[in-house]
Amino acid sequence: MVYGALDIGGTKIAGALVGADGALVARARRPTPAQGSAEELMAAVSSVLDELSRHPRWAHLASLGIGSAGPVDTVAGTVSPVNIPAWRGFPLAERVAAHPRTPVGLRPVLVGDAVAMTAAEHWKGAARGVDNALCMVVSTGVGGGLVLGGAVHAGPSGNAGHIGHISVEQNGPFCPCGARGCVERFASGTAIAAHALEAGWTPPPGVAPTAAAVAVAARGGDPDARAAFDRAGRALAAAVAATAALVELDLVVVGGGVAQAGRRSSARSAATWPTTRSWTSPAACRSCAPPWTSTPG
């Protein structure tokens, strides 16, 4: 028996087969044509499914989960990722079910990508055994999920804990979600790179202007690069503190490409910080230390 998984993000579309013990059996990955048409995007998903279905253990597929950038509608099976404009109310679960190699009668289960990450961290990762946790993905976008009372809390539509669209600045920049000052407009990799460029930072010749390049410059002392990460860190800290005040967290787990930009004092694949009941918890704020410092493990 194996489980199938699809991860739909603004940078990549990934898939995997996972054993009942959580061990990785196979994986596939394609770049996301984020500015492409709805069918171009679906073709990338189909290509991932094609590759996974060629693995011998696909014949033993027990279930298939989809974690997508949000918002999602788990009841309707549709996705409307903020960073994938061609998909608005796109029937992704239905289209995956209709793939020629999807077993007859198997219905894909759709959740937000950060909720999927939260379930994984609570099952096998940094939040294992924790009753109340916030798990965040800081990458092309910013997402989040909640563990409350020892169980993953996805909410009726599958979007609970979507910390990337908490507003942290009332008159901040407009977000494609329709609000202003969302965390994602400050702390996503896209926002970090854009802010650094606007402030005057320039990447070395031949280097793409990405958040990873900004992190390298920040560690080298570039003031504009440091300012971009400081800005991101403050936004993340404000959102974490607000969430801790609302639901009383025991732990915050931060993963994703941007979260890996800095040095860590632990060997874990995701950075973790214990929190206290107080929204002023120093640990919650330290979780957003900039990448040129040692972050607590």
| CA–CA separation, 231 and 214 (whole Å) | 13
| CA–CA separation, 28 and 228 (whole Å) | 33
pLDDT given for residue 277 in this prediction: 36
Average pLDDT per consecutive 10 residues, the chain (297 residues; last block may be shorter): 93 94 94 94 97 95 93 93 92 96 93 91 93 91 93 89 90 88 93 95 94 92 94 93 92 86 42 42 37 35
In the 8-state DSSP scheme, what is residue 295? B
pTM for this prediction = 0.79
pLDDT given for residue 260 in this prediction: 75
pLDDT given for residue 223 in this prediction: 94
What number of other Cβ atoms are within 10 A of residue 66's Cβ? 25
pLDDT given for residue 263 in this prediction: 52
Residue 46 C-alpha from the chain's centroid: 21
pLDDT given for residue 193 in this prediction: 95
pLDDT given for residue 288 in this prediction: 37
**CA-based nearest residue to 91, from 50, 43, 42:** 42
pLDDT given for residue 71 in this prediction: 87
pLDDT given for residue 274 in this prediction: 52
| CA–CA separation, 78 and 71 (whole Å) | 9
Peptide bond connecting 71 to the previous residue in cis, omega within 30 degrees of 0: yes
pLDDT given for residue 178 in this prediction: 87
